[in-house]
Amino acid sequence: MLFVLKKILTALITIPGVLIVFLLGTGIVGVLRRGRMWYANIITGVLIYAISIAPVANFFMISIEQSAVYRNEKVDVMVVLGGGLSEGVADFSGTHLPSPDMMMRLVDAVRIYRMKEKPVIVSGGIVGSGVSEASVARRVLIDLGVRAKDIILEERSRDTVENARFVRAIFTARGFRKGLLITSAYHMRRSLRIFAGEGLQVIPHAAGVIGEKKKYLDTFEFVPNIHDLRKSAIALKEALGCAFYAGKYRLASDK
């Protein structure tokens, strides 16, 4: 009982729980005082609660993720997309670290590299600190056993469209025809749409699937937390991105 109470209290005094309590509390008090405008607080609180619990967050994430595992298809090169850095932090072999999402992509790239030893293009431009995502990824790949000569850097891209365009230039210059695209599962649908729209032939490998498919739910699945709120936010962002680029490349093909 004490354990359950601790979990619930922790959820209520941290984000997003404290925000939900504030919105619902002020909304209910306001409505009781016959202020209709306070219904907005109640609705907002309920919506934030809904997208901050595991069943809803996992539903959204599963609907947007594209799960794809490399199955020994023939490719010329691997393409790993950048995904952000933890800037300025110390590491064994330098400064700056890949974000957790990007690290999952790099780990899977190394696992596949050990099977196939194909060249690795790392695509990711310069961030606020003046260092590129690709250069940090290169250092980590070398630490994990990838030969430096097998790593190709693309350090100019600022988003997924530029990832594809600058990688296409590398394909053309080096004679690559088919690549293995490695990115997060939630980012894969949008990435494939963009890479295809930019004329690149790639097959997907999704790293770090985070949409959980649980057979049974316990009470704590309905306690709001920041982790599940982040899942919902990512799913919404990717859904909007997929819709935008689907329209963009459809219009381009119709011209």
Q: Which of 189, 207, 225 is the C-terminal boundary of a domain?
A: 207
CA distance 182 to 161: 15
Question: Is the pLDDT at 206 greater than 60, yes or no?
Answer: yes
Q: Which two tokens stand for residue 45?
A: 């609180």
Asked, as a colleague might, if the bond just before 224 is cis with ω within 30 of 0, I would say no
State whether 84 and 173 are in the same domain.
yes
pLDDT tens-digit map of 156-200: 999 999 999 999 999 999 999 999 999 999 999 999 999 999 999
> What is the mean pLDDT of the segment spanning 191-220?
93
State whether 47 and 148 are in the same domain.
no
CA distance 29 to 39: 10
Identity (one letter) of the amino acid at 94? Answer: G
Task: Using the Cα atoms of residue 159, residue 160, residue 162 and residue 166 in order, give the sign of their dihedral.
Answer: positive
Residue 250 lies in a domain: no
State whether 1 and 81 are in the same domain.
no
State whether 20 and 108 are in the same domain.
no
CA distance 56 to 51: 6
What pLDDT is attached to residue 252?
A: 63
User: What is the percentage of the chain residues whose pLDDT exceeds 70?
Assistant: 98
Residue 248 lies in a domain: no
What pLDDT is attached to residue 18?
A: 95
Domain with 202, as residue range(s), is 77-207
CATH number reported for the structural domain that contains residue 193 in this entry: 3.40.50.620
Residue 244 lies in a domain: no
State whether 165 and 198 are in the same domain.
yes
State whether 120 and 193 are in the same domain.
yes
Q: Which two tokens stand for residue 211?
A: 């949409």
State whether 83 and 29 are in the same domain.
no
What pLDDT is attached to residue 191?
A: 96
Q: Please measure the distance between the N-terminal and C-terminal CA atoms of the chain and give it in whole angstroms.
A: 65
Question: Residue 24 in contact with residue 31, Cβ under 8 Å?
Answer: no
pLDDT tens-digit map of 80-106: 999 999 999 999 999 999 999 999 999
Residue 246 lies in a domain: no
Task: Quote helix, strand, coil % in the chain, to nearest 5.
Answer: 60, 15, 25
Question: Residue 188 in contact with residue 65, Cβ under 8 Å?
Answer: yes
State whether 101 and 162 are in the same domain.
yes
State whether 13 and 82 are in the same domain.
no
pLDDT tens-digit map of 59-80: 999 999 998 999 999 999 999 9
Residue 24 lies in a domain: yes
User: What does pTM read for this prediction?
Assistant: 0.90
Count of domains forming the chain: 2
Question: Is the pLDDT at 208 greater than 70, yes or no?
Answer: yes
With bands split at pLDDT 50, 70 and 90, how would you rate the model's confidence at 53?
very high
What pLDDT is attached to residue 255?
A: 53
With bands split at pLDDT 50, 70 and 90, how would you rate the model's confidence at 254?
low
